[in-house]
Amino acid sequence: MKYQPLVLIGEAEKCFDEQYTLPSIETDFKFLIIEEPNELPKLLLMLLDKPFRLHAQALNQYMDDKGISNIIVRGGGYIRFYEDGSIGAFGTSFAFKSAVPEQLESCISVIWPSADVNTDDLEHLPDHDFKYYHRSYSIDKIAEEAKKE
C-alpha cells in the first residue's frame, strides 16, 4: 500500500483536491501527528468544530474507521493555511500536547514541499514533559479522551 502522508477527516475532506493543493483562502485546521504500527508519521487534519470539537474525537473516528486498536500520537495543535501559500502552526492539543516543531515541519514538507512553514507559535513543553511524545494510545483511551468536555 502506498504511503499517504495526509489524513483528512470530517469536513476537511472537502477542502483539498487529490493533489492536496493548498487552500486559496485563509483556513484554520486542527492537526495531530500520528503513527500507525510499521508506518511513517502522518498528518491528521480536521476543520475546527466541524464536526469534531476535540482532537481526540477526530482521532477516535479515524481509528474506528480503520479498525486500528493502537496508535502513536506525536502531539498536535492548529494549522493555518494563508492566502500566500504559507503555513503557520500554533497552539497545542489538550489531550495529546504540542507537536515537536521539527516533526511537524518534516510531515508538511512531504505533503507541500515548497510551502513556507512557521512553527514559532507552537506551544513548547518544558523538557520534563517530553514523556508525552511518542506515547501509544489504545482505542479505549482515545474514546475516553473524546468524551471529555
Task: Output the pLDDT for position 120.
Answer: 87
Task: Output the pLDDT for position 132.
Answer: 42
The pLDDT of 109-129, averaged and rounded, is 78
Query: Grid cell 475532506 — which residue?
Result: 13
**pLDDT per position as a tens digit, 14-53:** 888 888 988 877 889 999 999 888 889 999 999 987 888 8
Q: Cell numbers at residue 81, please?
A: 493555511
Q: Distance between CA atoms of 69 and 124, rounded to whole angstroms?
A: 29
Contact assessment for residue 85 and residue 116, using Cβ atoms and an 8 Å cutoff: yes
**pLDDT per position as a tens digit, 57-91:** 899 899 889 888 888 888 899 999 998 889 999 98
Question: Is 50 exceeded by the pLDDT of residue 127?
Answer: no
DSSP state of 82: -
Contact assessment for residue 14 and residue 55, using Cβ atoms and an 8 Å cutoff: no
Contact assessment for residue 56 and residue 19, using Cβ atoms and an 8 Å cutoff: no
Report the chain's C-alpha Rg in angstroms: 14
> Which residues are paired to 102 by β-bridges?
none
Q: Considering only CA atoms, which of 86, 130, 124 is closest in space to residue 108?
A: 86
DSSP state of 100: P
Question: Is 80 exceeded by the pLDDT of residue 144?
Answer: no
The percentage of residues in the chain with a pLDDT greater than 70, rounded to a whole number, is: 87
